[in-house]
Amino acid sequence: MNSRLLSCTTSPNSWSGLPELFPTRIRATGAGMRSVEHIKRYTSISTANDQGKTSAVNAIGLIAAALNNGATPGQVGTTTYRAPYAPVAFAALAGRDRGDLFDPARFTSIHHWHVAQGAEFEIVGQWLRPWYYPKDGESMDDAVRRECAAARASVGMMDATTLGKIEVRGTDAGEFLNRIYTNAFKKLAQDLSGKKLTTEKKVTTWLAKNAGIDTIETVLLYHVVPGATIASKDAVNADGAQLTTAQGGTITVDVIVKWLGLVKLVDQDPTDANPYLNPFALDINKGNKQIAHGITAVLRPVDLP
């Protein structure tokens, strides 16, 4: 029995019903502890192989006697047993974890794209997450250096499906997300579908089904301008400038009112209204090489219906 558990400082007469050879006071209760869980951790009783299945019964009887307040072992209570606190067959533990089910793999929605790009994967909580994309003859270090340089000089995209998510609920969840996201995809889906899609899920589902993932990727790349940082103060002085995007298309800067900072971005869709810089969401990530500006609608890289 653990040496911290017992202390022989009082009369054995206080241990009613227990042999006099037992010490007369539990040190833990003498220090003021009353909860069986606290005493368990102070003394380490029932934390070994049996996880309290046998030793805790004896310990609870000692605690009831040491408290000397009339409490029965049942009133003292039991500690929380950890599994397995009853015999378990190895076959039950193994269950159906055989073959492909031994360690099921989880795939992101664009896993096929990563495979096509030659990705090497790492396992993260059963997710197959892209690790790096080696080209012929490249080591991992070479591939990582090349990818880092590409992201620093232009733009990098990450499949964050395997990371944690924030769930937004409520009747206005879609509108909330649409307002905090720099690209108004809700408006794009509404324009193309002719319907008012009221939730973010409906917007995303409609775009994925009708536009396709490749189209969404093209639109995203059209919103990225590699090269020099373009702060809002530069934009108002860039009337008529043509910006070449990561998608390959161009955007023309049209300064409407310089002193108001009213700037329109002319995209490749001549039949639809062009977006403006959002004056309440300028110079996002200011201080970094790549900064962003909120816009009032989605830029269109082609003449969409």
Which range of 13-22, 151-160, 190-199, 211-220 scores highest in mean pLDDT? It is: 151-160
| 9 vs 305, residue with greater confidence | 305
Q: Is the pLDDT of residue 283 over 50?
A: yes
If you average pLDDT over residues 13-38, what whole number do you get? 60
If you average pLDDT over residues 7-23, what whole number do you get? 38
Give me 240's structure tokens: 């008529």
Residue 288 — very low, low, confident or very high, per pLDDT cuts 50/70/90? low
Dihedral over alpha carbons 189, 279, 276, 178 (to 10 degrees):
0
pLDDT tens sequence across 169-204: 777 766 676 666 655 656 666 766 777 776 767 777
Which range of 16-20, 214-218, 264-268 scores highest in mean pLDDT? It is: 264-268
| 276 vs 183, residue with greater confidence | 276
| 76 vs 81, residue with greater confidence | 76
pLDDT tens sequence across 221-260: 888 888 767 788 888 888 888 888 888 889 999 988 887 7
Can you tell me the distance from the alpha carbon of 185 to that of 297, in angstroms, rounded to the nearest whole number? 8
Predicted pLDDT at 114: 92
Contacts of 230 (CB under 8 A, 6+ apart): 238, 243, 291
Pairing outcome for strands 25-26 and 6-7: antiparallel
Q: Is the pLDDT of residue 11 over 60?
A: no
Q: Is the pLDDT of residue 274 over 50?
A: yes
pLDDT tens sequence across 132-169: 999 999 999 999 999 998 888 877 888 877 877 677 77
The rounded percent of the chain whose pLDDT value lies above 90 is 10
Predicted pLDDT at 88: 72
Q: How many CB atoms lie within 10 A of CB 94?
A: 10
Predicted pLDDT at 186: 63
Q: Which domains are present in the chain?
A: 6-76 (no CATH), 95-161 (no CATH), 171-305 (2.30.180)
Can you tell me the distance from the alpha carbon of 67 to that of 77, in angstroms, rounded to the nearest whole number? 13
If you average pLDDT over residues 70-78, what whole number do you get? 84
Q: Is the pLDDT of residue 290 over 90?
A: no
If you average pLDDT over residues 5-20, what whole number do you get? 38
In what helix (H) or strand (E) does residue 26 lie, and over which residues does it extend?
strand 25-26
Q: How many CB atoms lie within 10 A of CB 5?
A: 20
Contacts of 202 (CB under 8 A, 6+ apart): 174, 189
pLDDT tens sequence across 86-140: 667 776 666 666 666 667 788 888 898 899 999 999 988 788 999 999 999 999 9
Beta bridge partners of 101: none
Whether the predicted model's global pTM rises above the 0.85 cut: no
Contacts of 88 (CB under 8 A, 6+ apart): none
| β-sheet with 262-266: strand ranges across | 242-244, 250-257, 262-266
pLDDT tens sequence across 39-61: 887 877 777 666 666 777 788 88
Torsions phi, psi for 144 (to 5 deg): -65, -40
Predicted pLDDT at 9: 34
| 8 A C-beta contact, residue 241 and residue 265 | no
